[in-house]
Amino acid sequence: MTTFTEGRHPGEFLMSEANGFRSREKGIILSGSGIVIPGTILGLVSVGAASVAAKAGGNTGTGLLTIDATTPLLDGVMPGVYTVRCITAATDGGTFRVEDPTGDVLGDVAVGATFSDEVKFAIADGGTDFIVGDGFNITVAVGSKKYAPSPNVLVQAIAGAETAVAINLYGVDATAADVEVAVFVRDIEVNKSKLVYESTVNDANKKALKIAQLAAVGIIAR
């Protein structure tokens, strides 16, 4: 006897949606996402790579800011320019203040120490000391705006996708190439038991967070 296992059907999770096409948009599942079955909770890759440059006009100090090679992007990171400016000069040292792209102060960091809030970097001393006003700009690029299964925490290659914002209608194989698909992004009710989570979303608390994130964009799971 042959046993067949029935997979998920497109829209099996859907309870209601808005009139017309208000609830749906055309999206792209990012290559490398693997097989994404109907009802998978998705995040948007909204953040790209980070790069650094000295402030306009250059610096007196010859030290360098180096972005962390492994985890340059941390929770809460956003596209735009982070400013890092020397507020206190010192022999073979100094203190720099870090502001996010909206102008909010994230904190201060000493030369030789590591800063870890939204972005991660360290500033090394050079042969000539920094003076007040010296500084660097860290530019965080806008991401691809493609979708990926929403992980529990930030993953560097798909930064931004850790926040759930959509659900895919049809199953796709995005193992080796981007795939276009219809996604639900607002004003729908879904059957919670029919949703599919990325593998790192593996306990009740993590799943509850995804449900809350979906609710924030008008996707209500019951």
Q: Which domains are present in the chain? A: 14-46+144-221 (2.40.300.10), 47-142 (no CATH)
**pTM over 0.75, yes/no:** yes
Question: Could you report the per-residue pLDDT of 175-216, keeping only the tens digit for each?
Answer: 999 999 999 999 999 999 999 999 999 999 999 999 999 999
Asked if 135 and 86 count as a contact pair (C-beta separation under 8 A), the reply is yes
Distance CA 12, CA 79 (A): 35
> Helix, strand, coil proportions of the chain in percent (round to 5)?
10, 45, 50
Q: How confident is the model at residue 91 (pLDDT cuts 50, 70, 90)?
A: very high
Distance CA 101, CA 81 (A): 5
Structure tokens at 193: 């038991």
Question: Could you tell me the end-to-end alpha-carbon distance of the chain, in angstroms, rounded to an integer?
Answer: 38
Question: Could you report the per-residue pLDDT of 81-90, keeping only the tens digit for each?
Answer: 999 999 999 9
Asked if 132 and 87 count as a contact pair (C-beta separation under 8 A), the reply is yes
